[in-house]
A = this chain, B = another copy of it.
Amino acid sequence: MRGWIIPIGGRLRSAEILRRFVELSGGALARIAIIATASHERETGGRYERLFAGYGVKRAKTLGFDRRSDCDDADWLAWLANSTGVFLSGGNQLRLATTLGGTPAGALLRELNRDGVHVAGTSAGAAYLSEHMIAFGEEGSTPRAGMVAICPGLGLTNRVIIDQHFRQRDRLGRLLTAVSYNPFCLGIGVDEDTAAFIDPEDAFTVLGSGAVTVIDPALVQHSSVADAAPGEPITLTGATLHVLGAGSTFDILTRRAELSVLRDSYATFDQPS
């Protein structure tokens, strides 16, 4: 069965997000491969190694995929091949795509997730997870033709297109634009300090202090982007919007948002949520 896919919106503060990722990956027995390729800062990998150690992980290692020529290093690939979880740091998602794309490391990441290894990414690392990646774009809530640049990402799923720092950087417009080009992909906007834990059957649960905004184009009647001039606002009718707080779940296949298992179990124990 496929592993979990876990986009995180950046600026992690809530302990529960990494704790849950570690738990899924085997707890104290987890073997976490850290990929800090997106980051400019040399210290990023080491910071995550110490952070994971704080969650009881004994084996967390930064793999130095800094250049394309690093991405067929036999030792790093062997370490990666035996990981139970992979964590992609923030930075610039185009560094991930340009460095890992088409390399043995990129292919191995896809195989591992297909075979059950969980892959989490924060900020740029979140954007990179899907087949269709938002590379960069402009701020604002109104969709406008050309306000977002999309390119091929890691490709763990093609069902969603992920944006991050979502409310904090006013990215509704660029995510709507991305969805308006082809109402096949679901848009998922993840706030800072928030994560969507997408399970192997393509339902996700929200964790963290913010929300996950879903733009579901299943019922879209019309998108004008084929006729819009560059920069012109796009007419888009019939998109379904969900804003999901912690504990909420959403099924990507059935497109249904549901009350969380967490809240149901609270109810069972007669505790108000």
Residues of A participating in the B interface, judged by any CB pair closer than 8 Å: 67-69, 92, 94-95, 97-98, 101-102, 106, 131-133, 135, 146, 149-153, 155, 158, 161, 178, 180-185, 217-218, 220-223, 225-226
Contact = CB atoms under 8 A, between A and B. Distances in A.
A181 B152 contact: yes
11 contacts: A68-B221, A69-B221, A94-B181, A97-B181, A97-B226, A98-B223, A101-B217, A102-B217, A106-B184, A131-B158, A132-B152
Nearest to A181: B151
A155 B178 CA distance: 16
Given A131-B131, A131-B158, A152 B185 contact: yes
Across the A-B interface, give the 5 residue pairs with the lowest CB-CB distance, nearest first.
Answer: A151-B181, A94-B226, A101-B182, A97-B182, A152-B182
A122 B135 CA distance: 28
Q: Chain copies in the assembly?
A: 2
A181 B98 contact: yes
Nearest to A220: B68
> Max chain B CB contacts within 10 Å: which of A69, A133, A184, A225?
A184
Given A68-B220, A155-B158, A225 B180 contact: no
A132 B155 CA distance: 11
> Max chain B CB contacts within 10 Å: which of A95, A98, A146, A223?
A98
